Amino acid sequence: MKSILNINNKIKNYNKTIYIPGDKSISIRFVLLASQAIGKSVAYNLLNSEDVKNSLNAIKKLGINYKFKRNKCEIYGKGFNGFNFKNNTVIDAGNSGTLARLIFGLLINTNNSVIIKGDKSLSKRDFYRVVKPMRLFGQVIDSKNFKLPIKVKGTNFSRPINYIESKGSAQVKSCILLSAMKTEGITKIYCKPSRDHTEKMFKELKLPIKIVKKNNSQIIFYRGKKNFKGFEYNVPGDISSSSFFIVLTLLSKKSKILIKNINVSKSRSGIIQILNLMNARIKLKNKKIYKGETIADISVQSAKKLKSINCPIKFNSSSIDEFLLIFLVCAVTKGVSKFKKIGELRNKETDRLKFANDFLIKLGIKTKVTKDSLKIFGNPNLTLNRKYIIKNFDKDHRACMLSIIAALALGGKWKIHDVDSIKTSFPTFVKMLKTFGAKLN
């Protein structure tokens, strides 16, 4: 893949049916959980991206074998004590915050040390949010300023914890659950609702997890040390990757798309609810439940009159990775769109709230930003006819793909740098756009 992409033309109208690669969040969790199973686990449609490859490389370094060919992955787990590796083994998480944070949980009972590192972008991100609960479990952690690289060593005497997770972070919650899985006794997590793929996988594996809802929060109980056998998983398509095509279709004239077999579970599909509140025409067809996840085909048509939104805070968690695209839609609507309590965007691969604000201003859109809110003064007559250069975004794959969608939907002459960052989550993105007739070079 080229590192620089030039786009000089809008995309023409289209009517397409497509399949999106496997869900990244589920793919990584499958790899990590399968490494703890007893016997062979098999996944179909496992995402073949850099983040997932780094996850597979991680368990390989820890002594777990796997085979991965044509999106079929076999992992040969050895149970809770199956890791076998040399002291100070280095695990490179690349750009994956999910891998880097969740792997702490699996290392709770290791005798040798592991050094977790990441790329330049990941090394800027906060890891105190997982260091704090892991130390309570008894994990020994050597960290400078809670940034990668971090040295981790397990304990033979891990203890269950009661923990308040106040950020609504699925990564922190999952890290704690993976540690609790290997710890005798009952761990309790008091948390806000967030992505719940780990909990659903635990339930499908008949693991002793209990979730009690209380007002707008929940308490998760987990009794550790129950082994489980290898399992199969058919990974659905990724809603985050699908969202780029959803928004491209909304903003393109006389276009339609059907995106097949996508995970649209409540904890992930906030973008669909938000866009439909803005007068989009997005429909879910052929809905079914698979291993606790809601799967459906997504039907989208070009939007006629989109309207601004005062976005309900309840959708923040379920659309956190799609806000860049939602902001782009707001840019071409009439009126002022408002978003509150979105400060978590500053803790992503890049400061996405800052990037979004700068990006919108570059397009000629008036904004008002604070540390955790954004107002967008939309312009339904927005026309792009200048040159736009996108760079210095810490190789954030979603920032890169957003820029490509904006160029194809709104026009102008674009030069987008670090396009190879897309390999993190959606390596076939550019190739797929070309089948739509997009002119990318």
Closest listed residue to residue 255, CA positions, set 405, 422, 382: 405
Residue of 51, 119, 238, 321 marked active site: 321
Distances in Å between the Cα of 233 and the Cα atoms of 30, 104, 174, 201 are 8, 23, 18, 10
Distance between CA 252 and CA 344 in Å, rounded? Answer: 30
Distance between CA 403 and CA 85 in Å, rounded? Answer: 42
Which position has the token pair 């992930």? 268
Strand partners, 301: 256
For 241, the 3-state DSSP assignment is helix
Active site residue 321: yes
Strand partners, 147: 144
Distance between CA 318 and CA 330 in Å, rounded? Answer: 18
DSSP string spanning 21-41? PBPHHHHHHHHHHHTTSEEEE
Which letter, b or e, does each residue of 125-159 get, where b requires 16 or more Cβ atoms within 10 Å of its Cβ?
bebebbbebbebbbbebebeeeebbbbbbbbeebe
Give the burial class of 40: count Cβ atoms within 10 A of its Cβ; 0-12 exposed, 13-18 middle, 19 or more buried: middle
Closest listed residue to residue 123, CA positions, set 113, 133, 115: 115
Distance between CA 328 and CA 330 in Å, rounded? Answer: 5
> Rg of the chain's alpha carbons, rounded to an integer?
21
Closest listed residue to residue 207, CA positions, set 228, 238, 237: 228
Structure tokens at 23: 């869900």
- Catalytic center residues: 321
